[in-house]
Amino acid sequence: MLRFDIAPVCSNAYRLQATMSFVIAALYLFTPYQWVSVLLALGGLLRGFVSPHKCLSYLAFARATGKLGIARMQNAGSKMFADKIAGVAGTAMFVTWLLGSGVGVVPAYAILIFAFIDLATGFCAACWAYGAWYKFRQA
């Protein structure tokens, strides 16, 4: 479902956001700083459920890509769906860390893998799933 109630977002800024998600997942998995998952949770929930245009990191990345002349705008719906998934995964990572459980590595590895694919190739698996779901429902 296309979101016309929210201004389009810059897909290249979202690639930089994927880089941040990759770094956060790597820190969670390979360092003792697992508390950083709260940044993934808060950012994903803010961008996914409120608006990407309210998130400071997205605004900084959008401004940077605009100044570099590499801004590429797209509808916000699929990116907001991806952010909802990242927000839920980050929340699961943070809560399981607080509870002392090792289960948080499962969403952390998923974020690590899919964020790397997005930052390296520009392919957003959640965005693809979002579009495929709506195409499937129309058939």
Residues with Cβ < 8 Å from 15, sequence gap 6 or more? 118, 119, 122
Q: Determine, yes or no, domain membership for 69.
A: yes
pLDDT tens-place string over residues 57-105: 999 999 999 999 999 999 999 999 999 999 999 999 999 999 999 999 9
Q: Determine, yes or no, domain membership for 2.
A: no
Helices 105-121 and 125-138: crossing angle in degrees, nearest 10, is 90
- Rounded Cα distance between 15 and 11, Å, is 6
* Helix (H) or strand (E) segment spanning residue 125: helix 125-138
| Domain interval for residue 120 | 9-138
* Phi-psi category of residue 76: left, alpha or beta, with phi > 0 → left and psi -120 to 50 → alpha: alpha
When divided into structural domains, the chain yields a total of 1
* Both structure tokens of 46: 């803010």
**Distance of alpha carbon 72 from the chain centroid:** 17
pLDDT tens-place string over residues 123-137: 999 999 998 988 888
pLDDT tens-place string over residues 19-71: 999 999 999 999 999 999 999 999 999 999 999 999 999 999 999 999 999 99
